[in-house]
């Protein structure tokens, strides 16, 4: 399941804070801030999708993420590879290294990461 851009922004706040009340989340939005009802609707949808949980304290709710950031983005990247690159990580890597403005140092760092992963898989 996927989040909208606004839901992702709200999840970023929750991933950063780990748990937060509505007022805390509203404060994190840049001006002009969305209406409280808008954020409440987003949180309800995200809760229904299984991304957000909450604890109730009287009339207040403390929200927290149910999905780790790394898990969410891993699924998004894998979905993109499947949809746009014929399910080929190699095609994605080729596109990524050619079409982004990576420096030689960044490419070298990427090579080290890949070499480490190859070594792990060969053990």
Tens of pLDDT along the chain (123 residues) come to 789 999 999 999 999 999 999 999 999 999 999 999 999 999 999 999 999 999 999 999 999 999 999 999 998 888 889 888 998 888 888 888 888 888 999 999 989 999 999 999 998
Q: Which CATH architecture has domain 5-65?
A: Orthogonal Bundle (1.10)
Residue 26 to residue 34: CA distance in whole angstroms = 7
Query: What is the Cα gyration radius of the chain?
Result: 19
Instruction: Say which residues have a Cβ less than 8 Å from residue 80's Cβ, sequence separation at least 6.
Output: 92
> Which 3 state secondary structure label does DSSP give 15?
helix
> Which 3 state secondary structure label does DSSP give 103?
coil
Residue spans per domain, the chain: 5-65, 69-122
């Amino acid at each position: 399941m996927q989040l909208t851009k606004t839901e992702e922004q709200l999840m970023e706040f929750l991933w950063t804070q780990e748990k937060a009340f509505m007022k805390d989340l509203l404060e994190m939005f840049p001006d002009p801030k969305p209406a409280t009802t808008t954020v409440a609707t987003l949180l309800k949808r995200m809760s229904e999708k299984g991304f957000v949980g909450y604890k109730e304290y009287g009339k207040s709710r403390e929200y927290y993420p149910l999905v780790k950031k790394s898990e969410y983005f891993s699924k998004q990247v894998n979905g993109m590879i499947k949809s746009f690159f014929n399910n080929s990580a190699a095609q994605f890597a080729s596109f990524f290294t050619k079409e982004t403005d990576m420096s030689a140092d960044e490419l070298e760092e990427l090579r080290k990461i890949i070499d480490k992963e190859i070594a792990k898989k060969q053990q």
